[in-house]
Structure 1
Amino acid sequence: MNSKHLGPLTVVFADHSDEPGGAEFALIRLLSVPQRWSPVVVLPSSANSGSGVFVTGLPSGIPVIRNGPGHTARREDGSGLAANLRLAAKIVRSAVAIARLRVVREADVLVANTTRAGVYVALAALIGRKPFVVHIRDLISAEAIGPAATLLMRRVVLPRAAGIIANSRASRETVSASTRTQNVRVIPSPAGLAPVEPDSVDATGPVRRIGMVARIDPWKGQELLLRAFADACIDGDQVLVFHGAPAFGHEQFAADLRRIAAELSIQNRVQFAGHTSDVSGAISALDVCVQASVRAEPLGQNVLQYLSAGKPTIVSGEGGPTEWVTHRENGLVFLPRDQASLADAIREIVGDSELRHSLARNAAATPGLLTDSQVSDQIFDVVRTAAGR
Structure 2
Amino acid sequence: MTLRPDFTLLQVVPELETGGAEQTTIDVAQAVVRAGGKALVATRGGRMAARLESDGGRLAQMPVQSKNPLVMLGNAARLVDLIRREKVSIVHARSRAPAFSALWAAQATHTPFVATYHGVYHAKTRLKRWYNAVMTRGDLVIANSNYTRDHILAEHGIDPKRVVSIPRGVDLSRFSPSWVTPDRLEALREAWGVAHNDPRTRLVLAARLTRIKGHLTIIEAAARLVAAGRRDFVIYFAGDDQGRTGYREELQTAIAEKGLGDVVRLVGHCDDMPAAYLFCHLALLPSTVPESFGRTAVEPQAMGKPVLASDLGGMTETVAHGETGWLVKPGDPDAWAAAIAQALDLGPTRRQAIGQAAANRATRLYSVDAMCDAYLSAYARVLEARGR
Same fold (TM over 0.5): yes
Partner of 1:193: 172
What secondary structure sits across from 2:148 in the alignment?
helix
Deviates more, 1:209-218 or 1:92-101: 92-101
Deviation at 1:105, TM superposition (A): 6.7
Partner of 2:194: none
Q: Decide which of 144, 149, 170 is 1:172's aligned counterpart.
A: 149
Q: Decide which of 336, 348, 352 is 2:346's aligned counterpart.
A: 352
Q: Is the counterpart of residue 161 in structure 1 residue 121 in structure 2?
A: no
Deviates more, 1:12-21 or 1:277-286: 12-21
Post-superposition CA distance 1:173-217 (Å, at most 9, x none): 1212443473532122233235769xxxxxxxx752011112222
Partner of 1:15: 13
Partner of 1:25: 23
Partner of 2:237: 242
Mapping for residues 181-220 of structure 1, pairs under 5 Å: 182-194=161-173, 208-220=201-213
Question: Is the 1:313–1:359 contact (alpha carbons within 8 Å) kept by the matching residues of 2?
Answer: no
Question: Is the 2:116–2:135 contact (alpha carbons within 8 Å) kept by the matching residues of 1?
Answer: no
Q: Is the counterpart of residue 139 in structure 1 residue 90 in structure 2?
A: no
Partner Cα distance (2:283, 2:108) in 1: 46
Alignment TM-score, normalising by the size of structure 2 = 0.82
Question: Is the 2:10–2:92 contact (alpha carbons within 8 Å) kept by the matching residues of 1?
Answer: yes
Mapping for residues 210-359 of structure 1, pairs under 5 Å: 210-234=203-227, 235-247=230-242, 249-353=243-347, 356-359=351-354
Partner of 2:52: 58
Question: Is the 1:196–1:364 contact (alpha carbons within 8 Å) kept by the matching residues of 2?
Answer: no
Deviation at 1:124, TM superposition (A): 1.9
What secondary structure sits across from 1:241 in the alignment?
strand
What secondary structure sits across from 1:295 in the alignment?
coil
Question: Is the 2:30–2:39 contact (alpha carbons within 8 Å) kept by the matching residues of 1?
Answer: no
Alignment TM-score, normalising by the size of structure 1 = 0.82
Deviation at 1:349, TM superposition (A): 0.9
Structure 1 residues 371, 306: CA separation in 2 closer, same or farther (over 3 Å shift)? Answer: same
Deviation at 1:31, TM superposition (A): 2.4
Unpaired runs of 5+ residues, structure 1, are 73-85, 198-205
Post-superposition CA distance 1:236-264 (Å, at most 9, x none): 131111122122x3232222212211111
* Bigger relative CO (Cα 8 Å, ≥ 6 apart): 1
Partner Cα distance (2:91, 2:248) in 1: 36
Deviates more, 1:341-350 or 1:325-334: 325-334
Deviation at 1:295, TM superposition (A): 0.6
Structure 1 residues 70, 269: CA separation in 2 closer, same or farther (over 3 Å shift)? Answer: same
What secondary structure sits across from 1:182 in the alignment?
helix
Deviation at 1:92, TM superposition (A): 3.6
Corresponding pairs, count: 352
Deviation at 1:283, TM superposition (A): 0.5
Question: Is the 2:135–2:141 contact (alpha carbons within 8 Å) kept by the matching residues of 1?
Answer: no
Structure 1 residues 6, 268: CA separation in 2 closer, same or farther (over 3 Å shift)? Answer: closer
Structure 1 residues 252, 19: CA separation in 2 closer, same or farther (over 3 Å shift)? Answer: farther
Question: Is the 1:207–1:288 contact (alpha carbons within 8 Å) kept by the matching residues of 2?
Answer: no
Read off the aligned partner of 2:8 and give its amino acid letter. Answer: T
Post-superposition CA distance 1:275-309 (Å, at most 9, x none): 22221111001111111111100000000112212
Mapping for residues 37-116 of structure 1, pairs under 5 Å: 37-44=37-44, 52-60=46-54, 61-67=56-62, 69=63, 71=65, 87-103=68-84, 106-116=87-97
Deviates more, 1:294-303 or 1:238-247: 238-247
Partner Cα distance (1:310, 1:65) in 2: 37
Question: Is the 1:308–1:369 contact (alpha carbons within 8 Å) kept by the matching residues of 2?
Answer: no
Deviates more, 1:269-278 or 1:88-97: 88-97
Among all aligned residue pairs of Structure 1 and Structure 2, give the percentage whose two residues are the same amino acid.
22
Deviation at 1:164, TM superposition (A): 2.0
Partner Cα distance (1:56, 1:26) in 2: 15
Q: Is the counterpart of residue 385 in structure 1 residue 378 in structure 2?
A: no
Post-superposition CA distance 1:54-107 (Å, at most 9, x none): 43321334221123x4636xxxxxxxxxxxxx7444434433332233556721
Post-superposition CA distance 1:12-59 (Å, at most 9, x none): 111112332321122123323423421111124xxx6xxx22433213
Question: Is the 1:193–1:304 contact (alpha carbons within 8 Å) kept by the matching residues of 2?
Answer: no
What secondary structure sits across from 2:262 in the alignment?
helix
